[in-house]
Structure 1
């Protein structure tokens, strides 16, 4: 029996669910109910969500939490975080509170340049191609005016256009390499529209210069890059080592030395660096998602940046110099506060309002700080009590829900594990013992 279907996209949402459950979930009588219970009762809001993507059948919820007490450039923030992983919001909040009394976080924008490329092959004379490009560059830029005018009025636009010869890496491979300033927009649609027009104009100019011969030059593709090493934000914290005395009760100099060494390990050991940076992205992705931005693009760009020196390394750095502890991050973040979901998703709009309706550079600073705070909390735990003590206590409620614990059982478990080590077997054993005692 074939499980394929023609015209699926033309079915109603109920028809899609009926086919899906009958074909792939025939033994689950609750499947239709589970999907429909996440529909929003507000039909207008539900239609809005249905139209975000194709073939919508339901809504997939993530918890939206708040990490309060962030002091960034002397301004207070409560940062929204959309994430399912236990302990992320708690760790960020704890780090924010720790640094609030030590001057808070400082952040600055080091650049906002974004990149796009027209990729093409050319089998002719490279010198003649370079001469043609220089002769036609002004025309290429003029052709882009209808696309760039609005962005230029907002202070953005194209900042450079160059021809790049990549034939040493790949036979006959060239690029038109373009840099952009997109102001408060992430700018993906703007950049891609410009690049497609640029490719069309470049091919036209080449053909006109070579009697309509197009065989030597072939456009492969035109697309923005999510690697944006010129769109960088830096965030940092610092204080005298003596002020680290509250770090889990250990000697502040011992703590500072272990913390710096832990970060140094992540700088030279890729196996550690991947997990180290994953923790950073716990904080960053949660804020990126809560503000309607593309966390996949941010992830890809961040990890590429972590490899910029030829091996994968830590995105954060730490030093102790002249008695001052310093911890910082430099990371590429191509974010937007206009366009996309920022003006459509009601919670995204509310979250941005909560942050004071930041500009894109201001949001870059907030997001970088969230990543730095998350990493501080993780490394602090790793070098003192260990990561599992706090993580498993935060994971306790998930385990209790898996065991379908009653409110009374949850209350007893929370009290018990204030003084006992949390593990799945320990939680399961406790709930079993409570239930046995109730049946006696």
Structure 2
């Protein structure tokens, strides 16, 4: 059967599944049953999920867990995390408990400005273009009033528009660089609508100006940026180095080794990438649980990590007068209204769990999740090693791969409390039980 199809999107869900299983699968009934297994029995809820995207076949589940005991600015939180990776939720919970006993996390909003740009080319005199923009700027803002009126009533809207000359980087290339405040909305649709209106007005006014009869202006595109270095939040923890002492770990020695690990991530990109990936384990999990766009957050965060010209650690540490301070500054453009926030039942559940935060509060909670994750990772790396805790959490995944029954799981869990967990060791142990 041909693997090319016309009009696929117009087929019903069952017709799509039939074509796919007939074309690509040796066992049609088994392949179909896998998809149907994950359908929701509540037809109305399933239709809601079906309409989130195009060509929906089924639901793809991720575990939704929680990390309790977060003390943030004197307020207790239990944080929802949607993620499949072993040990992430456990590590966050452990860090939350650790810092809850040492004063908790402190957060500060450093800015909430979001960015959009109208990209265009222009051939002509630069001075004339700047003069034209200065005279036209008020018109651009006025023409967008029908889009900004409601946002302005709530205290948001357009902050500024600037003309940026980028011709040194690319011939004839200019921008309208636009700043926005979108309050509790992530604001993508609002920003993009404003940008398209700016472009339309800018082009109209340009074409009506007799100074530019010998010049050409071409609007290339109008789009928000996911790089938001001025939509920034800081999360930090701090205590005396003596308070870092526990079990066989000396506080001063631990602090010094921890600081050296952070310093390495600040200068070594190979380490920084993995270091920041661990931070994003915590951040992405909460972003996803709250119905926000984790791809946009990832892109903006990694660009921010490269702002000095090389890829660096997002977290930093100081030890001054025997005070250990560990912090993260991170750009987070988030929303608590719009998108999935009022549609997806588990997103609504997550927001209620978080006590209905506004966008600024959500920024702070998510930044803390990233900092906690990084602290737990660096603490493990510089003391016991990362594999000890990670592989213990991974044990159940290995047992499930081996189709272990409840008795085998119980025996393996008991055994590996006192033995190193490796894939080969678990296979050997289960085979020994079975033999």
TM-score normalised by the chain length of structure 1:
0.97
- 1:345-374, CA deviations, whole angstroms, 9 ceiling, x for partnerless residues? 011011011111001000000000000000
CA–CA distance in 2 between the matches of 1:7 and 1:215?
Answer: 45
TM-score normalised by the chain length of structure 2:
0.99
**Counterpart in 2 of 1:392?**
391
**Counterpart in 2 of 1:195?**
195
**Counterpart in 2 of 1:318?**
317
**Is the CA contact (8 Å cut-off) linking 1:207 and 1:214 kept in structure 2?**
no
**Counterpart in 1 of 2:291?**
292
**Is the CA contact (8 Å cut-off) linking 2:124 and 2:215 kept in structure 1?**
no
- 1:260-285, CA deviations, whole angstroms, 9 ceiling, x for partnerless residues? 00000000000000000000000000
**Counterpart in 1 of 2:186?**
186
CA–CA distance in 1 between the matches of 2:242 and 2:13?
Answer: 61
Helix, strand or coil at the partner of 1:341: coil
**Counterpart in 2 of 1:376?**
375
**Deviation for aligned residue 1:124:** 1.0
CA–CA distance in 2 between the matches of 1:230 and 1:96?
Answer: 27
**Deviation for aligned residue 1:13:** 0.6
- 1:216-258, CA deviations, whole angstroms, 9 ceiling, x for partnerless residues? 0000000000000000000000000000112x52111111100
CA–CA distance in 2 between the matches of 1:80 and 1:372?
Answer: 15
Alignment gaps of 5+ in structure 1:
none
**Counterpart in 2 of 1:333?**
332
CA–CA distance in 1 between the matches of 2:210 and 2:99?
Answer: 64
CA–CA distance in 2 between the matches of 1:148 and 1:195?
Answer: 11
**Counterpart in 1 of 2:209?**
209
1:101 paired with 2:125, answer no
**Deviation for aligned residue 1:95:** 0.2
- 1:169-220, CA deviations, whole angstroms, 9 ceiling, x for partnerless residues? 1000000010000000000000000001110110000001148959600000
**Counterpart in 1 of 2:158?**
158
**Counterpart in 2 of 1:430?**
429
**Deviation for aligned residue 1:26:** 2.9
CA–CA distance in 2 between the matches of 1:177 and 1:233?
Answer: 22
CA–CA distance in 2 between the matches of 1:125 and 1:211?
Answer: 10
**Is the CA contact (8 Å cut-off) linking 2:22 and 2:28 kept in structure 1?**
no
Helix, strand or coil at the partner of 2:124: coil
**Counterpart in 1 of 2:255?**
256
**Is the CA contact (8 Å cut-off) linking 1:392 and 1:422 kept in structure 2?**
yes
CA–CA distance in 1 between the matches of 2:146 and 2:337?
Answer: 20
**Is the CA contact (8 Å cut-off) linking 1:287 and 1:367 kept in structure 2?**
yes
1:5 paired with 2:5, answer yes
Helix, strand or coil at the partner of 2:341: helix
**Deviation for aligned residue 1:2:** 3.2
Helix, strand or coil at the partner of 1:66: strand
CA–CA distance in 1 between the matches of 2:211 and 2:45?
Answer: 56
CA–CA distance in 1 between the matches of 2:29 and 2:13?
Answer: 18
> Counterparts of 1:84-163 in structure 2 under 5 Å?
84-163=84-163
**Deviation for aligned residue 1:27:** 4.2
- 1:148-173, CA deviations, whole angstroms, 9 ceiling, x for partnerless residues? 00100110000001110000010000
